[in-house]
Chains A and B, each alone.
Chain A
Amino acid sequence: MILELILLIMLAYAVGFIYYGLYRNITARIQGRYGPTIYQTFYDSIKLFSKENSVSYGWMFYLGPIIMATGAVLTLIMVPLFSDGEYLKSITSSSNLFVLLYMMVLGPLGNALAVGAGGNPFGVMGVTRGLTRLMGLELPFYIAIVALIIANGSSSISDIMQAQASGGWNAINHPCLFVAAMVSMVGFMGASPFDIPGAPQEVYSGPATEFSGKFLALLMSQGSIFAFAKLVLIVDLFLGGADNLMMLVVKTLVIFVSIIFIGVVYGRYKVDQAVDFLMKIPTLIGLIGLVRIIWFG
Chain B
Amino acid sequence: MDIGFHGDNFKWSMEEKGTKSAQSLIEEAIKWFRSKSIFVIAYGTGCGAIEMPPTFTSRYDAERMGITGVATPRQADVIILSGYLAYKTLRRVIRTYEQMQKPRYIITLGSCPINGGMYWDSYNTIKKLDDFIPIDVCVNGCMPRPEAVIEGFMLLQERIKNGEEAGWEKYDKELEQYKKNQNKALGGHIEPSYETDWYNMNSGGVA
Q: Give Cα A98–Cα B138 distance, bound, in whole angstroms.
A: 58
What residues of chain B lie closer than 8 Å to A34, measured between beta carbons?
Answer: 61, 64
Task: Determine if A40 is an interface residue (Cβ-Cβ < 8 Å).
Answer: yes
Q: Hey, what's the 0/1 contact readout for A31-54 against B, CB within 8 Å counting as 1?
A: 111111000100110110011111
Task: Determine if A266 is an interface residue (Cβ-Cβ < 8 Å).
Answer: no
Task: Determine if A200 is an interface residue (Cβ-Cβ < 8 Å).
Answer: yes
Contacts A43-B33, A47-B34, A212-B101 given: A28-B63 contact, CB under 8 Å?
Answer: yes
What residues of chain B lie closer than 8 Å to A55, measured between beta carbons?
Answer: 74, 101
In the complex, are the beta carbons of B64 and A35 less than 8 A apart? yes
What residues of chain B lie closer than 8 Å to A54, measured between beta carbons?
Answer: 101-102
Q: Give Cα A290–Cα B9 distance, bound, in whole angstroms.
A: 71
- B69 → chain A closest CB, angstroms: 9
In the complex, are the beta carbons of A200 and B66 less than 8 A apart? no
Task: Determine if B95 is an interface residue (Cβ-Cβ < 8 Å).
Answer: no
Task: Determine if B177 is an interface residue (Cβ-Cβ < 8 Å).
Answer: no
- B161 → chain A closest CB, angstroms: 12
In the complex, are the beta carbons of B63 and A209 less than 8 A apart? no
- B193 → chain A closest CB, angstroms: 15
In the complex, are the beta carbons of A50 and B30 less than 8 A apart? yes
Q: Give Cα A122–Cα B198 distance, bound, in whole angstroms.
A: 12
Contacts A28-B63, A43-B37 given: A121-B71 contact, CB under 8 Å?
Answer: no
**Residue count of chain B within 8 Å CB distance of chain A:** 25
Q: Give Cα A40–Cα B38 distance, bound, in whole angstroms.
A: 11
- A57 → chain B closest CB, angstroms: 11
In the complex, are the beta carbons of A36 and B34 less than 8 A apart? no
B contact face: mostly helix, strand, loop, or mixed: loop
Task: Determine if B89 is an interface residue (Cβ-Cβ < 8 Å).
Answer: no
Q: B61 contacts which of A33, A43, A122, A213 (Cβ < 8 Å)? A: A33
Q: Which of B98-157 contact A (CB under 8 A)?
A: 101-103
Q: Give Cα A205–Cα B37 distance, bound, in whole angstroms.
A: 18
Task: Determine if A211 is an interface residue (Cβ-Cβ < 8 Å).
Answer: yes
Task: Determine if B36 is an interface residue (Cβ-Cβ < 8 Å).
Answer: yes
Q: Give Cα A2–Cα B89 distance, bound, in whole angstroms.
A: 55
In the complex, are the beta carbons of A204 and B101 less than 8 A apart? no
Q: A35 contacts which of B63, B72, B101, B103 (Cβ < 8 Å)? A: B63
Q: Give Cα A31–Cα B64 distance, bound, in whole angstroms.
A: 13
In the complex, are the beta carbons of B37 and A44 less than 8 A apart? yes
- A19 → chain B closest CB, angstroms: 17
What residues of chain A lie closer than 8 Å to B58, measured between beta carbons?
Answer: 31-33
Q: Hey, what's the 0/1 contact readout for B55-84 against A, CB within 8 Å counting as 1?
A: 001100101111010111011010000000
Q: Give Cα A234–Cα B199 distance, bound, in whole angstroms.
A: 44
In the complex, are the beta carbons of A47 and B37 less than 8 A apart? yes
Starting from the known contacts A43-B66, A54-B102, 5 additional A-B residue pairs (CB-CB under 8 Å) come to: A50-B30, A51-B77, A55-B101, A122-B72, A212-B101
Taking Cβ atoms with an 8 Å cutoff, the residues of B that contact A are 30, 33-34, 36-37, 39, 57-58, 61, 63-66, 68, 70-72, 74-75, 77, 101-103, 197, 199
Of the A-B pairs whose beta carbons lie under 8 Å apart in the complex, a sample of 21, sorted by A's number, is: A28-B64, A31-B58, A32-B58, A33-B58, A35-B61, A36-B68, A43-B36, A44-B66, A44-B68, A46-B30, A47-B36, A47-B77, A50-B30, A50-B33, A51-B101, A54-B101, A55-B74, A55-B101, A200-B71, A204-B71, A209-B71
